[in-house]
Amino acid sequence: MYIALLSYTAPRNEVDYALAEHADWLRSHFAHGLFLVSGKGNEDADQVIISRPCVRGKLDAVLATDPLVLQRLAHYRVIEFSATRTADEFLTVNEALAS
């Protein structure tokens, strides 16, 4: 699994103009099942995304299409981790990890 930490590289007033496109981009990847959780970060990142287990190259390719990245308003730092335990609510993720 991955945690993607999004950090803004431009002033917030510039970022604000692209947030609607970013929200649409997020919705699309939730609908396709890649993203599990997203939200506002603090200190280490402006936003955080937790993704399903996948090939790292696939995630990198998807993150590169974020409108905030394409417009050079932000960049991602990705942390990979192996989930060894999850809550029952993440049963489908548990099954993906077992395979």
DSSP 16-33: HTTHHHHHHHHHHHHHTT
| pTM of this structure | 0.87
For 39-86, the pLDDT digits (tens) are 999 877 899 999 988 999 999 999 999 999 999 999 999 999 987 777
pLDDT of 92 reads 66
How far apart are alpha carbons 52 and 20 in whole angstroms?
A: 24
pLDDT of 63 reads 98
Among 63, 66, 29, 36, CA closest to 50: 36
pLDDT of 85 reads 77
Q: Which two tokens stand for residue 72?
A: 């050079």
How far apart are alpha carbons 71 and 93 in whole angstroms?
A: 32
